[in-house]
Amino acid sequence: MNPAPLEAMLARGQDNALLRFSLGSAWLGQGEPARAAEHLARAVEHDPGYSAAWKLLGKALAAAGDAPAARAAYARGIEVATAKGDLQAAKEMQVFLKRLQREPPAP
């Protein structure tokens, strides 16, 4: 997905969790995980209960090489998803979190 139209919407003053989630997803798809993480962090600021945004934020942070922040995002996402009854998302994030915890720390 081309993020340019979404960036244009943001520049026009539209700013909400769904737009930020979409931007994060688009930038992640373009191979820009750090840029994606910025938008996804804003998505969960707009809507702290957005479990899909927490999951994608963890993925973006991990891809950007920030394992500690990714672990924190997944942990928070698991809490949010569990509280909402979004058990599938919680299970997925638990798997991703376990994978990160098994990886050795970066030198």
How many other C-beta atoms can be found within 10 angstroms of the C-beta atom of residue 72? 15
Sign of the C-alpha dihedral computed for residues 82, 90, 71 and 19 taken in this order: negative
Residue reference for tokens 């996402």: 77
- CATH code given to domain 4-102: 1.25.40.10
Closest CA to 36 of 49, 46, 23: 23
Tens digit of each residue's pLDDT (9 = 90 or more) over 19-57 = 999 999 999 999 999 999 999 999 999 999 999 999 999
Tens digit of each residue's pLDDT (9 = 90 or more) over 8-22 = 999 999 999 999 999
Sign of the C-alpha dihedral computed for residues 24, 25, 26 and 28 taken in this order: positive
CA pair distance 9, 48, nearest whole angstrom: 22
